[in-house]
Amino acid sequence: MFIHRHKVQFYETDLMGIVHHSNYLRFFEGARVAWAHSKGLLDYQQPGTASHFAVLETQVRHVKPTFFGDDLQVEVQAKTDGNRLIFQYRLHGRKGEICALGQTVHVSLGPDLKLKRLSAEIKAVTEKETWTETWL
Amino acid sequence: MFIHRHKVQFYETDLMGIVHHSNYLRFFEGARVAWAHSKGLLDYQQPGTASHFAVLETQVRHVKPTFFGDDLQVEVQAKTDGNRLIFQYRLHGRKGEICALGQTVHVSLGPDLKLKRLSAEIKAVTEKETWTETWL
Amino acid sequence: MFIHRHKVQFYETDLMGIVHHSNYLRFFEGARVAWAHSKGLLDYQQPGTASHFAVLETQVRHVKPTFFGDDLQVEVQAKTDGNRLIFQYRLHGRKGEICALGQTVHVSLGPDLKLKRLSAEIKAVTEKETWTETWL
Amino acid sequence: MFIHRHKVQFYETDLMGIVHHSNYLRFFEGARVAWAHSKGLLDYQQPGTASHFAVLETQVRHVKPTFFGDDLQVEVQAKTDGNRLIFQYRLHGRKGEICALGQTVHVSLGPDLKLKRLSAEIKAVTEKETWTETWL
């Protein structure tokens, strides 16, 4: 299982003293980019290449808050469904407890923001991945 | 229908030239705070009051991209379900077209981050609201 | 004097309960874009036009904190100095008190990120502006 | 010399294709928190302790742009001046070149946002640090 680490920054908190919910989408983005790079998809998310992805849908379920200084761990799983690339995330807090679950759905876009088919490279990578249906 | 306006800022864009998806959760937050204030819920989201709300779930569906300088309009609808406060959002782009749909689910928390029952005030306000089931 | 208004959002606060200092640069950006639009510089900050500006220097002096829900007012003044475009800002809090002072220095860049001369249009606009030396 | 590393995230870019200038203040914050933790100042920036710091002044000089995916390195130096804690930063890009220089000035605040004297602990730590006057 691919795991991405993120140390919570002071500027990611809000006046409730916890991480602002919008930042979870940023943590997930960091996690899927790191996942892509770890799979050799080095141009992932660089415009002008085959592998830029637009975000179609996001979903986050918050289970527990996270705090300044926490060493978060984000587990990532990926699959394709037709021309859609689907990621799920399990975000663990400082004690390893699950703090958030998420899913993002993407399609491939050209630099002209027009839809493209998923590359063979992406399909080849995701086919080798394990997918657990029960995450979210 | 309550409508919140937001002018897209330069710092809300990313290198694809469009608004970064995480900002939609920020636009929705701005919209629900403005909605609450418009209903006389003036302490909405101030810690130490009855009406602080934690985010339990978020969901965003992206239909079209939005751009720097766009005058966005976010329609807001709200209802309660037991101790949950549910908002839905319809975000319109510069030509009035729907660009994104969203939902956020909240519970009331005290300053100690412990769950509280929804206040009578919130229930009274949402009971007067119209809710359309087919938004998302 | 040009004044830009900004209502402080919940997501702009941090765990000290005040607006995070990095957001002042965002408020200043919002203010100078609004200033440019008010002067008819409608393409201001759009890439691929003559009037994109890179940030060379920023400086912020914090006098008082600002808070969630505050209606901020940002006064803007602008001048040119050779090929540099210089803005200064005075940010007022909810009671009109000065909360922050700032300055940003810009140069004009083409879409290739190469330096360009300031356009005659920008120079014509700033020549008509009043500049007070004692702001920062 | 203390060095803090930061990998540039997609959400930190703007429509010019480069890192948005407001994020440099966030990189510097990440760097000084990491510096403080590395010196054993473990409560650094936690509210309710002696070592919370408000930002009085920030200054950034941009030399070259930075890009999505860059592995940045931020050198940090610190000193005190009376009750002020002063940090300077040198931010290096993917090839080691200097991309930005910065300075932030801080004072110690209690949870009531009232000024406090710098702790003996902070003074003891900064006295052992090397300071080079010529950074900015």
Residue D92: what pLDDT? 98
**pLDDT class of C48 with cuts at 50, 70, 90:** low
Q: Give the DSSP per-residue string, C110-125.
A: -TTS-EEPPPHHHHHH
For B66-85, write each residue's pLDDT tens digit.
Answer: 999 999 999 999 999 999 99
Residue A44: what pLDDT? 67
Nearest to residue A24, comparing CAs of B108, C89, B21?
A: B21
Neighbours of chain B (3+ CB pairs under 8 A): A, C, D
Instruction: Determine the distance in angstroms separating the CA of A49 from the nearest CA of chain C, rounded to an integer.
Output: 18
Q: Which two tokens stand for residue D30?
A: 């990440």
Chain B residues with CB-CB distance to A47 below 8 A: 15-16
**Which residue in the set D10, D11, D14 is minimally distant from B10, CB to CB?**
D14
* Other Cβ atoms closer than 10 A to D17: 19
Give the number of beta-carbon pairs within 8 Å between B and C: 27
Which of B14, B43, B70, B81 is the catalytic position?
A: B14
- Whole-model pTM? 0.95
Instruction: Determine the distance in angstroms separating the CA of B117 from the nearest CA of chain C, rounded to an integer.
Output: 22
D132 at the A interface (CB within 8 A)?
no
Euclidean distance between CA atoms C102 and C58, whole angstroms: 7
Euclidean distance between CA atoms D94 and D72, whole angstroms: 6
Q: Which of B13, B25, B114 to mutate to test the interface with A (most CBs of A within 10 A)?
A: B25
Q: Do the strands A98-109 and A115-116 form a parallel or antiparallel pair, or are they unpaired?
A: antiparallel
Choice between D11 and D121, residue whose per-residue pLDDT is larger: D11
C49 at the B interface (CB within 8 A)?
no
* Extents of the domains making up chain D: 2-127
CB contact set of D121 (below 8 Å; sequence gap of 6+): D41, D50, D51
Let me know: does C66 contact C93? Beta carbons within 8 Å: yes
- Whose tokens are 């804690």? That residue is D85
Residue D53: what pLDDT? 86
φ and ψ at A128, to 5 degrees?
A: -85, -5
Let me know: does C100 contact C62? Beta carbons within 8 Å: yes
At residue D126, does pLDDT exceed 60? yes
C7 at the D interface (CB within 8 A)?
no
**pLDDT class of D115 with cuts at 50, 70, 90:** confident
Nearest to residue C20, comparing CAs of C66, C63, C70?
A: C66
Return the amino acid letter for C22: S
D30 at the A interface (CB within 8 A)?
yes
**Which residue in the set C22, C52, C60 is minimally distant from D26, CB to CB?**
C22
Return the amino acid letter for A41: L
**Which residue in the set D11, D26, D47 is minimally distant from A9, CB to CB?**
D26
Residue C45: what pLDDT? 65
CA angle C81, C85, C86 (to 5 degrees): 90
What ipTM was predicted for this assembly? Answer: 0.94
Looking at every residue in chain C, the average pLDDT score rounds to 91
Helix (H, G, I), strand (E, B) or coil at C64: coil
Q: Do the strands C84-92 and A53-62 form a parallel or antiparallel pair, or are they unpaired?
A: unpaired
Residue B25: what pLDDT? 98
Per-residue pLDDT tens digits of chain A, which is 136 residues long: 899 999 999 999 999 889 999 999 999 999 999 999 999 886 666 655 656 789 999 999 999 999 999 999 999 999 999 999 999 999 999 999 999 999 999 998 877 778 889 988 899 999 999 999 888 8
B9 at the C interface (CB within 8 A)?
yes
Let me know: does A84 contact A78? Beta carbons within 8 Å: no
Euclidean distance between CA atoms A109 and A45, whole angstroms: 10
Sign for the CA dihedral angle at C95, C96, C102, C107 comes to positive
For D28-66, write each residue's pLDDT tens digit.
Answer: 999 999 999 999 886 666 655 656 789 999 999 999 999
B128, with CB counted inside 10 A (0-12, 13-18, 19+), is: exposed
Sign for the CA dihedral angle at B37, B39, B42, B44 comes to negative
Multiple choice CATH, B2-127, 3.30.1330.90, 2.60.40.420, 3.10.129.10, 2.40.160.20: 3.10.129.10
A13 at the C interface (CB within 8 A)?
yes
Q: What does each C-alpha distance from A3 to A29, A127, D52 come to in angstroms?
A: 13, 18, 32
For B17-27, write each residue's pLDDT tens digit.
Answer: 899 999 999 99
Nearest to residue D28, comparing CAs of D99, D86, D102?
A: D102
Q: Give the DSSP per-residue string, A102-113.
A: EEEEEEEE-TTS
Nearest to residue D12, comparing CAs of C46, B16, A52, B14?
A: B14
Residue C50: what pLDDT? 52
Nearest to residue B93, comparing CAs of B14, B1, B2, B24?
A: B24
Helix (H, G, I), strand (E, B) or coil at D34: helix
For D88-107, write each residue's pLDDT tens digit.
Answer: 999 999 999 999 999 999 99
Residues of chain B with pLDDT under 70: 42-51
- Per the document, the length of chain D is 136
Give the number of beta-carbon pairs within 8 Å between A and C: 28
Q: Which of B13, B33, B55 to mutate to test the interface with A (most CBs of A within 10 A)?
A: B55
Euclidean distance between CA atoms C28 and C12, whole angstroms: 14
For C87-110, write each residue's pLDDT tens digit.
Answer: 999 999 999 999 999 999 999 887
Euclidean distance between CA atoms C123 and C117, whole angstroms: 10
- Per the document, the length of chain C is 136
Euclidean distance between CA atoms D76 and D3, whole angstroms: 6
Q: Which of A45, A46, A60, A109 to mutate to test the interface with B (most CBs of B within 10 A)?
A: A60
Nearest to residue A103, comparing CAs of A64, A70, A133?
A: A133
Q: Give the DSSP per-residue string, B54-103.
A: EEEEEEEEE-S---TT-EEEEEEEEEEETTEEEEEEEEE-TTS-EEEEEE
Residue A53: what pLDDT? 86
B30 at the C interface (CB within 8 A)?
yes
Euclidean distance between CA atoms A33 and A105, whole angstroms: 14
Residue B136: what pLDDT? 84
